[in-house]
Chain A
Amino acid sequence: DGGITQSPKYLFRKEGQNVTLSCEQNLNHDAMYWYRQDPGQGLRLIYYSQIVNDFQKGDIAEGYSVSREKKESFPLTVTSAQKNPTAFYLCASSIRLWDEQYFGPGTRLTVT
């Protein structure tokens, strides 16, 4: 079955620690995205990647970093510089940039 996997579903970290969220897709999509979702704020774009070895900042990139070394993988690191990291994180992919997006199940990160 083709799709997007995000792991883990729940993640707990102490303040000051970096944490990496996994996103893998086997849809052969070129573009991938990371969104953050907070109650009442919809989806906010963190980073996106059009092709391998290329990525761009979205609207709220501060405190986050990404890599795109393989077409299938687009991990997101939440650094200690992110002031309010507790949120629900969604990864998505599309055949081409800004086309119809397919979403993973999300990772809920809690930082205390």
Chain B
Amino acid sequence: AQSVTQPDIHITVSEGASLELRCNYSYGATPYLFWYVQSPGQGLQLLLKYFSGDTLVQGIKGFEAEFKRSQSSFNLRKPSVHWSDAAEYFCAVGSLNAGNNRKLIWGLGTSLAVNP
């Protein structure tokens, strides 16, 4: 069955520290992947996306993610976290091969807290 796993429900980091949020997927076809961020009580904002090509993708707000097909992962990274990065982060995976039967599969999210 297709699935997306974000193993960490909640992460706390200190401001200025580096960050890595994990996303693992199980998908039978060629995937495309997204990371979204959600501030409390708000909608989701796209951070970055991977469809093809360079497996290291740059996004907004200083985030980057690396697609590793061999590990079925698409981890999100930031070298230095700011207090304003505190939010919920969602990974989503879709398929390039499944036609109109494809859907986006969403992870359950990782809540990020930032200590001053």
Residues of A in contact with B (beta carbons under 8 Å apart): 4, 6, 40-43, 45, 50, 88, 90, 92, 97-98, 100-106, 108
Contact = CB atoms under 8 A, between A and B. Distances in A.
A43 B4 CA distance: 12
24 contacts: A6-B43, A40-B9, A40-B108, A41-B108, A42-B90, A42-B106, A42-B108, A43-B106, A50-B100, A88-B41, A90-B43, A98-B94, A98-B102, A98-B103, A100-B46, A101-B44, A102-B46, A103-B43, A103-B44, A103-B45, A104-B43, A105-B43, A106-B41, A106-B42
Contacts of B103: 45, 98
A106 B39 CA distance: 12
Contact of B42 (A45, A101, A105): A105
B49 A100 contact: yes
Contacts of B90: 42-43
